[in-house]
Structure formats: C-alpha cells, structure tokens
C-alpha cells in the first residue's frame, strides 16, 4: 500500500513535468537502492543538495574536492578593499544619473569652444559630493572590517584529525565537515547538525535572540538512531554521510537525511540544526558537524541590511527634475537662437567674436556653453540634502520619549531610512488583531467539555480585579513580557560543568533574580487560574474509588474520560519546554525517566497520591470555598509546582498548560521520546511521545501522537481552529453518533457564545489508532521526513491522512485584553481620514466583538456580513449589499443627519471569491464606500493579496501593522510596513520598515511625525527648487544684455558656491526642525492629518507656483540694480555684486517667511550663511588676482560695499521681491485660519499651565538641593522633534 502511495506521488510529478526534481529515500519495508544507484543519483542532483561527511585520511583527495566547493566560515561584510575602494566606489556613485550629468558638464567645460569657466571650477561640485559620500562609505566599510575581524577571530573547539583531539581554532578556520564542541553560553560559529548532547535525553537548548529576537528558549534534539560506540561521542567512529538541501535563508526549514554505513536513512529536520549566532543554554556540552559555514549559514543569508524603498515624494521629485531639465533646455535654446540672431543682425559686433564662424554654428556652441553656465538649475546637492534631512528626522523619531516603552526598554526602530515622509500620506491601514490590537497575553477564561460549559465565574472576577488594578496608575503601562525569563539561571561560564556549580554560586544567581519566577508568556495573571467548582467536583469523583467500580459504559464514566483526555491534551499537545531552578542545568530533566520506570513508580505512589488528592479536593465541593481552599490545603504541593518554569513558543500554549496545572494536570518534564505528567489521583505518569505534527496555517491545527499512559493505545491529540475540527465525524455506532452529535451541537453553541464575548477559541479533539493503522501511516510519515524535494507537500499529506475522523473533546475560551489606548488610537486615525481594516484569522463573532471594543465599530454602524460558500452566492450577495448600502445612504441624507457607517465583514472563503479577478471591481466599489472592513478567517497569503489589491487598484498609500510571522507577507507588501515587537517573536519586526512596541504609538508616529516629515521634506524640496531657479534666472536675464554669449556678471567661484555652500545649510535646518503645527495640536485635532493630504503640499501646481515666484523674484533682483546703475560705467563684476548680495538676502529671508518655527539654531545658520558669503567675497576681492580669469575681482567687493548705493539697492530689491509673498501669506492666513493660528491660543494656555506647574514643582523641591527647572521656558516639550 505504501509502495502504491510512493509510486502515485512520483507519477504525479512526472505528469507535472518535474520528474527530475523528486528525490526521496524509500520507506521502511521497501527494497533499498544499491550503492551504485545511490552514487549516480548523487551525481545527477549534485546541484540541488550538498553532501557532508567527516574528513577521512584514507580519501583525502575526495574530501578536498568536495569541501573546496563549499564556502569557508570566514565572513566578509565589507564592500571594498584598499585596492578596490576608489574604482568600486566611483563606479557605484556614477550609477546615479545626477552624478553622470555633472561629470558630463565637467568634461564639456574642457572643450575649448564651449568653455564657460576655468576647467577646475566646474569640477568642484562633483568632486565635493563624491568626496563626502566616499568618506562616509569608507568609514562604514572600516567599521564593518573591524566587526568582521572580531567575529572571525573568535575561538571554538574543533576536532583535529591528526591530533585526535579537540583544539581551539578561530571561527574563520572552521569548515564544512568539521566536528565542533560547544559548552554552555557559547555562541554557535556555524550551522551545525547536532550529533551529541550531554543531556541524557539527547536534547539541548538554544537562545535565538541574536538571530530572531525571540527570548524563549528553543529545544533541539540529537539526530535519532545515531550509531554511537558507548555513551560518549567520538568523532573517529562517525562514518555516516549527510545529504541536505543547498543553503537558503529559511530559518524554519531544514531538509535532508543521514545515511548510515548500512544504508539506512534517517530524516533530518529543523530541530536537529543549530544555527549560527545562537547561544547554547542549559546544556553542558554539545557536539555537531558543520553543514553550512560562513556566508552559507542561514544567519548570514538573512543579513540583508536596512530596507530600501522609494517614497512617493521621491517619485514626484524625479518628475520635477525632468521639468527642470526641460526648463534648462528651453533657456539654453533661447540663448542659442538669440546669439545666432544677434550675430546675424549686428555686423559690427561690440564684443569680440569669431567672424569666420557662422551664426548657426556659434549658436550651437552657445547652447552647450549655457548648459554649463546654468548647470545649477539641476540641484546636484538636493539628493544629498534629502538623505541628510531624513537622517535628522529619523534621529528625532528614534529619540521621542512618547514612543519609548519603559517596561520593555524598547523604542521605535527605523529600519527603512528613506520613507519617513510616507508616514504622512497613509490612507489605508491594515491591522492584525491578536498581539497587534490586543496584548497577546492569553489568560484562560472558561471551557466546555463533553458539551458541558464551565464558566469559571471566580476566575472572571479575578480578571476584573486585575484589570481594575492595572488601570489605576495612569502612567503605568502594561508589561508585555516578564522581566524574569525561564533561563535566568543559565550557566555562568562555558567551561564549567553544570553539575559543578557551588551552592554559593547558585545562591548568588538566585539572589540576582528575586522577581517572581516566570517565563515567556507566563505572567502572574496567566498562571493563577481559579478552578471551576463543578469541574473540580467531577475530577474529585475521578480521584475516588467509585470510578474503579463503575462500568465503563456509564454516562459518568464517559464524561470523566472526556475530561481526563481533555486535560491530558492540554498538557501534552504543545512544544512547551519545562525548566526549574532547583534542578541541575536549570532544566527539569526527566532525563532518567523511562516509560517503564515511571509506570512502576506511579503504581507504588498511587495510593498515597490518591489519599492526598482526596483530602485536597474534598473541601472544594462547596462553591464558596473554591478560591481559598486549594491554597490552604495544598501549600506544600503548590510551592513545589510553582518552581516549574514553562518556556512556551506562543501565549496560547502557556495559558492552556497553566490552566491544566490549576486542575493538578501538570507537565513536569519533556524529552525527545516522552513526557512526564501528573494527573489527579494518578501521580507521575510517563507518556511515550511518538510524533509531533506542528501547527501550520494550512491545517490550522497541531497534533501529537502518543501512547496512552493508561490504556497503551496509540492516540492522536489535536488542538486547532473550530473551522477544521467541528466538521470532523468519528467512526462509531449509531448510539455513539447520537451522543457525539449532541456534544458537537452544545459545543458549537458555546463556541458562538465565546466568540460574542470576544474570547479566542480553540477546539480539542482526539483519535484512537489501531496498531496496523498507525504502522501504515508511520511509513508515509517516514517517507516524507526523509525527503529533500517537496518535503512540505508530503508532510502535509501525511498529516491530513492522520487528522481525520477526530472525536471532539471540548473547547477553550481564552481572553486576550486590548492594549491600552487602542480605542483612542483607532478613533483618532479614523478622524484623520485613514480607513482601518482588520485582517485576522479569528472567528467572525470574535473579530466583530473586538471591533466594537476598539471603537472601530460604533453602536449605530450597520454591519454588511458576507459569508458565502460559492462564487455565485457571493456575487448575488454583493449586489444585495451594494443596494443596501445605497439605500442606507439615501434614507438618511434628506434629514441632514450624519449617516451611520457601514462595516463590511467577510470570512476567509468569501474573501477568496472577492479577490478573484472578475469580482475585484465590485468588492473595491463596496469597500471604498464602507467605513471599515473586517476580514475573518484570513490566511497570511490572503492578507497580502488584500493589501496588494487596494494598493494597486486604488493607487493609495497603505500601511500594514502586525506582530507575528503570519503578518510578514502583509507587512512586506504594504507601502509602509510596521512590526510590533510583541509576544510572537521578531519575524514581523525583521521584515518591517518601522518597529514599535505598542499599537498606541501609531497615533503619534503618523499624526505627528508623519505629518511633520512630509511637510518638512515637501517644503524643503520646493525651497531648494525655488532658490536654484531664482539664481539661475539672474544669469539668464543677463544674456539679453551681452548678446547671449554665455557671459556672466559674477566670478565663477561665487556662481558655483552660491547654491553649493552659501545657501545649502538653511534648507537642511528647515527640513529637520520646522514644525508647522505643535505636537499637542496634531494629537488633539487628528483632522489636521487629512488636511495635508487634501491640500497636497507637494503637487505639480505648487511646483509651478514656486517656479513662477522664483521668476518674479529674479526679475526684481536683476532689474532693480540694472536700472539703478543704468548709464554708469560700472564693470560687469561691479554690476553683479549687489545682485548677488540681494539674491542671498532674498533667499535667506524667503526661508524665514516660509519657516513656521524659528529657534536660535535657525538664526545661527542664517547669520553664518550670510557671514560666510560676505567673508568669502571680501577675502576674494582682496587677495585673489588671477583666480577668475579673464576678469579681475581684486577690489570690486570692497569698493562696492563702501558705497551707500550698494546698500540701498540691496534693501529695495529685497523688500520689493519678498513683499508680494508676504502679503499673500498674510491674506491667506486671514481668510483661512489654519491650525497654526488656532493652536496659538492653545499654546498660550499650555504655556501658562506649564509655568504654574513648574513654579509649584520648584517650590516643593526647593529644600532638596536641586537646581530648579526654568519656569520661563514655556516651549519645553518632551520631544524636541
């Protein structure tokens, strides 16, 4: 039968045209291939996998030929060497079009016919920009070099074949095939296949915080069925061959097998792999063989550096740069045509010209000359300035105290350095629910077993008291994770045995962690579950001797069987790691527990435990004593149980394990082969663990296959979503089916009730396997596990064959409280014009309940629910919903009342229909008219498709926020991705553009920093374009008076440095520090966020208005001095002196007019800019004789500045040029009072309040020898941004 399954799978691959891809080991019981066939297969698929085996002196040449093709363990993250730095850096910089443009101009100026300035002068802008960027790259490269050298020179113990012993080697000398021995707290130098662990269970624990940021320990296990000689691992005895997949960046996947000399193959999994950068914990010694080294390791392949995205503003800027290029070409063509006509019409030229050259050719040369003269119209420094401004913006965002989480010591991370302004343009926000809107701190609330509901009323009261205590201190934030981890007693020194730690060392370690002993996801509110009295009473029956005398077919016996199986499933159907500070190695070893030994021990302790439990549970029959009696009667046992520390990979698992522990169903130890559990009345029991089928988003469930400790049967325990378990139907008689249908009907009612209360539901089920059925399934599972190609598909098929005909045991309801300030944040975002969508995998009722709780839904909102089983039904329903939505709008519009919002709710199957091509337009039309959309039962792929659909079809800026690995695709798809560093690891953070610790931080990040970043950068770009166009036009107007010859009225140095140096710093300060509206106004008036989107600070209209204003100011700046000196005998440099000075003053004062914030920094920069210009031109005119041939600037500026006319011209020109802009600005603010003016009154109130508070504070602390804060500094804020 298994052979037919294998053949069927291979035939299907052949039909799909991928027969060459499949490469599997044969299952047990099937004929194995010969060694020759295996060798030929290895040669055929060499490019798709790698072979690893231990070095052997007898086949040294073969070893070298194989391993030389693999990368060494030395890493090199630097981009350059001393020899390649200059050529490679220049090559990279000249990939930028702007740099190529200015290189072309510099080379063009070397052509004598079109030369405009000194050849060296035109090189200055390009050389300056290239030098600054090269210095930055060199410093970054050197920093990387120092880091690489430090990492490569770390020491590790590697096996030396010549010396037959482990010796210390540098990391860089380790290579594939080497045996590496590590001790506790040592960092793993390469990706190792775990071959030996000092833990008798064959497991070790690793801390992956350096890799993925997760704090909970991960368990890894030795490759099973490893032929070892004795208990200790010896490298000389290892003769196996490892075949595994080629290096990849998937941290959660490892495919391969180990082939023993006998030809037997053992499948390899991710649980057998120790990843580079992780740290060994709680294990004295491990030995592994290197399979991936250096840049082939998964850690290095995931090291992609900062994310790069192009913002919408950059895309618009590129369009405007093209308009500037077109404007430059028009101006140059005008000059070329004018010069040709001038030569043609003026036979006796006033200026010296080449009479042998035709007017057309002269005009052609002037065109290129003017390209050089007017080159500053294309702002080469703008791109560099934008990068500097964004770094400044990120600095202030990063250091905003309002975005800092003191409990976690975590602040916002800006991983994408160039899309800060997109935060101010968000129109759609897509959010996960669990862990994003909620705490993801799961607390057991209630359960249903055998169709009977246990409400746990006292437990509910405990949670209400906890919530009331939590919100009492207004400034206290909720802790996401406990400050004390389950690995608080990790080994101090890697070379010290865990068993040799002295009592004093243990005492010191314990004293350093005096906080309550908790672990990841295990806060006190999670652990302290108050049992339900009715369920306690039934478990008390189980502890009595009545059960032993009752017939197995009675209703009471069946119900108690369901109850025990339910709690047994909660205890063992997980991946929780158990540890304890009282055990060596800080781990509840259970290492010496064999199945038979513990069964024997449990028999001897059964009577004593039974009597103890009887006495403990007898007093619990009274409901009023349920809270206090367990604590009073079972103090000794509770103290012993509380020593257990659970390291869970998800908060759901921790909550369920602690709930079972409250009923004395306790998980005490875990190994690769079994678990040690306590059951009421049974004492310690060993459960043989046969298989674990981990949770995945396709199956939506997790299963464990165990041998039942009491019956010896093979049992499958499963927990998962109700959508995949409630439809299961077990095999059995008609009477059994009737009982089961009743249980399922009652459980479904309880599920619906839990969902309406906003609880997270999880169904528990089981299935008993016959031995023959299990053996057949086992062969298919082993086939899948030993596969390299298409392994995931085969494992999925095997799991689906097992997880059928499940018997429903019950369901759990877990409460997950909202994070603080989530309702206020969502309400503010909606007022800001941002549409909020919730994309969750939870039930529809749960999502709707959370929607009401977080104020996404209002009581008067109308729900439009789409829950369809077919495409046709969806299309018909969608039309009905559209009509209903239109009727709702029409019915309320005549009355003039505000129409209630419509909320569209879709389940996963309906969403699948909506995303299909033919239905997208209708779905988009309806969703656009809805206030919000809730997508339930959605998969990670569906989340990303929804984001992509809205982003592509509507052309809007989207933001996705999530906290788990299932949100990664959605985060990466959105225009801005935000990860929350919550309880589900750091996958979302690592894939995001920005990382925050709480959902409430979105409010200030978007409404304040997003708006500031957008308005600052947009206004800075417009200002940059303005000053360049304005100054270039001065040179262009002069061409009308010099025969369009390309001459200029200023020296070339001032011409080049005017935009590059003299006026380059004020825009940077403007882009980093300007605040058009105070932070508190933006927080209190979210509508101001949408005003920026509607007014669109940076749009084509504003670009052309800015250009026209620059034209006007250039006309004033040129012609006022022109008419002032008309008819005189001033030189061209004397004529240009007041023009340059006036242009500088106009540009700087224009900056003052446009700035909404003026600080001492602004004043200092403006003064320095002006002082730098006047200081330069004065020194230039005093000492530079031959700096600017053919003109001589000596004495020009000193002479001009000694004449009153110079200052009169500057004042008249500046006032005339800026007066219209000042008048229009005042008129606009009068007719349209903005939030700036409205917030001025608020600032006065806040300033006075601040002054009184500070005076009161100084008075109270006047006796405390502290410097009082200045009460006059009314502008002081927590965030300087």
* Rounded Cα distance, 631 and 1092, in Å: 60
Please count the other Cβ atoms lying within 10 Å of the Cβ belonging to residue 863.
12
The per-residue DSSP string of 997-1014 comes to SSTTHHHHIIIIIIHHHH
SS3 of residue 485 by DSSP: coil
Residue 902, strand partner residues: 862
The per-residue DSSP string of 1165-1183 comes to HHHHHHHHHHHHHHHHHHH
For tokens 């350096």, the residue is 210
Whether residue 529 has a cis bond before it, omega within 30° of 0: no
Torsion angle of C-alpha atoms 493, 496, 502, 507, degrees rounded to 10: 20
Residue length of the chain: 1281
Are 1071 and 385 in contact by the 8 Å Cβ rule? The answer is yes
* Rounded Cα distance, 1067 and 220, in Å: 55
* Rounded Cα distance, 307 and 1151, in Å: 33
Sign of CA dihedral 8, 14, 16, 18: positive
601 closest CA partner among 492, 676, 713: 676
H-type helices in 624-733, by residue range? 629-633, 635-642, 651-662, 722-725
Maximum Cα interatomic distance, the chain, rounded to a whole number of Å:
131
H-type helices in 222-304, by residue range? 298-301
Take residue 187 and report the two structure tokens written for it: 């960092």
Which residues, in sequence order, are CB contacts of 232 under 8 Å at separation 6+?
A: 196
If phi > 0 it is left, if psi is from -120 to 50 it is alpha, else beta; for residue 1269 that is beta
* Rounded Cα distance, 10 and 14, in Å: 6
681 closest CA partner among 646, 710, 716: 710
Angle at which helices 1087-1095 and 1011-1038 cross, to 10°: 30
Are 696 and 719 in contact by the 8 Å Cβ rule? The answer is no
432 closest CA partner among 1004, 723, 816, 828: 816
Which helix (H) or strand (E) element contains residue 995?
A: strand 994-996
* Rounded Cα distance, 86 and 98, in Å: 19
Q: Which residues are the active-site residues?
A: 432
Q: Is 589 exposed, middle or buried (0-12, 13-18, 19+ CB in 10 A)?
A: buried
SS3 of residue 1125 by DSSP: helix
* Rounded Cα distance, 501 and 53, in Å: 37
Take residue 110 and report the two structure tokens written for it: 């070397």
Residue 448, strand partner residues: 453, 811
Q: Strand 674-679 relative to strand 683-696: parallel, antiparallel, unpaired?
A: antiparallel
Which CB contacts under 8 angstroms, 24+ apart, belong to 66-69?
67/175, 67/176, 67/177
Are 557 and 647 in contact by the 8 Å Cβ rule? The answer is no
* Rounded Cα distance, 1137 and 1028, in Å: 18
Q: Strand 256-259 relative to strand 165-170: parallel, antiparallel, unpaired?
A: unpaired
Are 191 and 290 in contact by the 8 Å Cβ rule? The answer is yes
Classify residue 228 by its DSSP letter: -
Are 210 and 187 in contact by the 8 Å Cβ rule? The answer is yes
């Amino acid at each position: 039968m298994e052979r037919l399954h294998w053949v069927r799978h291979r035939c299907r691959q052949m039909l799909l045209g991928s027969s060459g891809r499949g490469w599997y080991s044969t299952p047990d019981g099937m004929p194995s291939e010969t060694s020759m066939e295996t060798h030929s297969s290895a040669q055929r698929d060499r490019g798709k996998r790698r072979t690893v085996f231990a070095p052997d002196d007898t086949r040294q040449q073969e070893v070298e030929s194989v391993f030389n093709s693999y990368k060494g363990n030395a890493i090199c993250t630097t981009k350059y060497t001393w020899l390649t730095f200059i050529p490679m850096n220049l090559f990279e910089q000249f990939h930028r079009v702007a740099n190529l443009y200015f290189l072309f101009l510099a080379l063009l100026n070397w052509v004598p016919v079109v030369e405009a300035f000194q050849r060296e002068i035109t090189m200055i802008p390009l050389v300056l920009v290239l030098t600054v960027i090269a210095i930055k790259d060199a410093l970054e490269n050197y920093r990387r070099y120092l880091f690489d050298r430090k990492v490569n020179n770390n020491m590790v113990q590697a096996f030396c074949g010549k010396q037959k012993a482990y010796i210390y080697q540098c990391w860089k000398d380790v290579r594939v095939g080497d045996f590496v021995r590590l001790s506790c707290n040592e960092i793993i130098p390469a990706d190792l296949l775990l071959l030996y662990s000092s833990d008798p269970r064959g497991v070790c624990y690793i801390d992956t915080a350096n890799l993925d940021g997760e704090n909970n320990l991960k368990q890894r296990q030795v490759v099973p069925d490893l032929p070892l000689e004795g208990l200790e691992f010896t490298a000389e005895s290892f003769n196996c061959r490892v075949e595994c997949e080629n290096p990849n960046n998937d941290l959660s996947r490892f495919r391969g097998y180990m082939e023993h000399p006998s030809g037997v193959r053992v499948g390899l999994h991710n649980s057998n792999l120790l990843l580079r950068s992780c740290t060994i914990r709680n294990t004295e010694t491990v030995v592994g063989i290197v399979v991936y080294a250096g840049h082939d390791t998964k850690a290095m392949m995931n090291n992609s550096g900062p994310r790069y995205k192009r913002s919408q503003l950059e895309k618009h800027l590129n369009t405007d740069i093209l308009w500037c290029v077109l404007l430059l070409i028009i101006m140059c063509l005008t000059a070329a045509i004018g010069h040709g006509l001038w030569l043609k019409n003026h036979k006796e030229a006033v200026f010296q010209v080449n009479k042998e050259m035709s007017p057309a050719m002269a005009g052609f040369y002037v065109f290129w000359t003017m390209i050089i003269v007017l080159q500053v119209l294309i702002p080469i420094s703008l791109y560099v300035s934008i990068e500097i401004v964004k770094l400044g913006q990120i600095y202030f965002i990063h250091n905003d105290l309002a975005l800092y989480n003191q409990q976690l010591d975590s602040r916002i991370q800006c991983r994408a350095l160039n899309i800060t302004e997109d935060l101010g343009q968000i129109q759609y926000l897509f959010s996960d629910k669990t862990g994003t809107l909620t705490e993801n701190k799961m607390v057991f609330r209630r359960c249903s077993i055998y169709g009977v509901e246990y409400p746990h009323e006292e437990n509910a009261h405990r949670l209400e008291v906890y919530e009331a205590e939590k919100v009492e201190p207004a400034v206290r934030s909720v802790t996401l994770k406990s400050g004390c981890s389950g690995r608080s007693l990790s080994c101090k020194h890697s070379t010290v045995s865990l068993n040799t730690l002295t009592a004093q060392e243990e005492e010191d370690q314990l004293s350093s962690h005096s906080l309550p002993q908790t672990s990841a996801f295990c806060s006190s509110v999670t652990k302290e579950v108050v049992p339900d009295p009715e369920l306690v009473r039934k478990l008390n029956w189980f502890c009595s001797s009545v059960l032993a005398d009752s017939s197995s077919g009675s209703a009471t016996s069946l119900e108690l069987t369901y109850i025990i199986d339910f709690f047994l499933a909660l205890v063992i159907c997980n991946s929780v790691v158990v540890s304890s500070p009282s055990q060596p190695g800080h781990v509840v070893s259970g290492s010496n527990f064999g199945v038979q030994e513990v069964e024997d021990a449990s028999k001897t302790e059964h009577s004593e435990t039974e009597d103890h439990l009887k006495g403990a549970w007898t007093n619990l029959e009274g409901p009023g004593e349920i809270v206090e009696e367990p604590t009073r009667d079972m103090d000794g046992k509770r103290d012993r149980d509380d020593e257990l520390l659970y390291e869970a990979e998800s908060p759901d698992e921790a909550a369920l394990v602690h709930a079972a522990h409250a009923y004395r169903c306790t998980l005490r130890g875990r190994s690769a082969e079994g678990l040690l559990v306590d059951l009421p009345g049974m004492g310690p029991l060993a459960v043989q663990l046969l298989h674990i089928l981990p949770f995945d988003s396709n199956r939506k469930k997790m299963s464990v296959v165990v041998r039942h400790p009491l019956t010896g049967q093979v049992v499958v325990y499963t927990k998962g979503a109700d959508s995949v378990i409630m439809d299961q139907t077990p095999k059995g008689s008609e009477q059994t089916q009737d009982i089961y249908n009743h249980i399922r009907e009652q459980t479904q009612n309880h599920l619906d009730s839990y969902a309406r209360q906003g609880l997270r539901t999880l169904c528990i089920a089981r299935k008993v396997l016959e031995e023959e059925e299990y053996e057949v399934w086992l062969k298919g599972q082993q086939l899948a596990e030993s596969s390299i190609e298409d392994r995931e598909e085969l494992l999925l098929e095997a799991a689906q064959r097992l997880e059928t005909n499940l018997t429903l045991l019950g369901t759990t309801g877990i409460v997950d409280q909202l994070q603080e300030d989530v309702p206020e944040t969502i309400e503010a975002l909606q007022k800001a014009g941002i549409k909020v969508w919730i994309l969750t995998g939870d039930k529809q009722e749960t999502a709707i309940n959370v929607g009401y709780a977080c104020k996404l839904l209002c009581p008067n909102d109308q729900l439009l629910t789409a829950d369809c089983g077919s495409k046709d039904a969806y299309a018909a329903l969608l039309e009905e919903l559209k009509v209903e939505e239109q009727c709702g709008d029409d019915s309320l519009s005549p009355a003039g009342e505000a129409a209630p919002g419509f909320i569209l709710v879709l389940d996963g199957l309906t969403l699948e229909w909506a995303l299909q091509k033919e239905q997208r337009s209708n779905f988009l039309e309806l969703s656009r008219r809805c206030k919000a959309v809730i997508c339930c039962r959605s998969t990670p792929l569906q989340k990303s498709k929804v984001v992509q659909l809205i982003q592509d079809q509507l052309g809007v800026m989207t933001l996705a926020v999530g906290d788990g690995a299932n949100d990664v695709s959605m985060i990466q798809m959105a225009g801005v991705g935000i990860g929350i560093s919550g309880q589900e690891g750091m996958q979302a953070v690592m894939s995001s553009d920005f990382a925050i610790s709480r959902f409430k931080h979105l409010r200030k990040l978007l409404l304040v920093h997003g708006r500031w970043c957008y308005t600052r950068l947009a206004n800075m770009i417009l200002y940059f374009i303005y000053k360049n166009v304005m100054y270039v036009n001065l040179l262009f107007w002069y061409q009308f008076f010099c025969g369009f010859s390309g001459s200029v009225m200023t020296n070339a140095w001032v011409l080049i440095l005017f935009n590059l140096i003299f006026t380059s710093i004020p825009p940077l300060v403007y882009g980093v520090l300007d605040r058009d509206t105070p932070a508190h106004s933006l927080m209190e008036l979210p509508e101001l966020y949408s005003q920026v989107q509607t007014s669109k600070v940076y749009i084509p209209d504003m670009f052309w208005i800015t250009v026209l204003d620059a034209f006007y100011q250039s006309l004033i700046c040129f012609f006022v001095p022109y008419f002032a000196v008309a008819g005189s005998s001033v030189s061209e440099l004397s004529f240009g002196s007041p023009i340059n000075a006036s242009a500088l003053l106009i540009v700087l004062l224009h900056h003052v007019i446009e700035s909404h914030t003026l600080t001492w920094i602004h004043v200092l920069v403006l003064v320095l800019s002006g002082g730098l210009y006047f200081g330069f031109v004065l020194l230039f005119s005093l000492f530079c004789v031959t700096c600017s041939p053919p003109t001589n600037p000596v004495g020009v500026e000193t002479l001009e500045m000694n004449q009153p006319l110079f200052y009169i011209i500057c004042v008249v020109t500046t006032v005339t040029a800026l007066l219209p802009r000042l008048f229009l600005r005042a008129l606009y603010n009068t007719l349209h009072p903005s939030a700036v003016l409205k917030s001025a009154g608020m600032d006065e109130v806040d300033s006075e309040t601040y002054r009184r508070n500070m005076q009161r504070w100084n008075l109270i602390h006047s006796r405390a020898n502290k410097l009082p804060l200045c009460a006059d500094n009314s502008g002081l804020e927590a965030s300087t941004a």
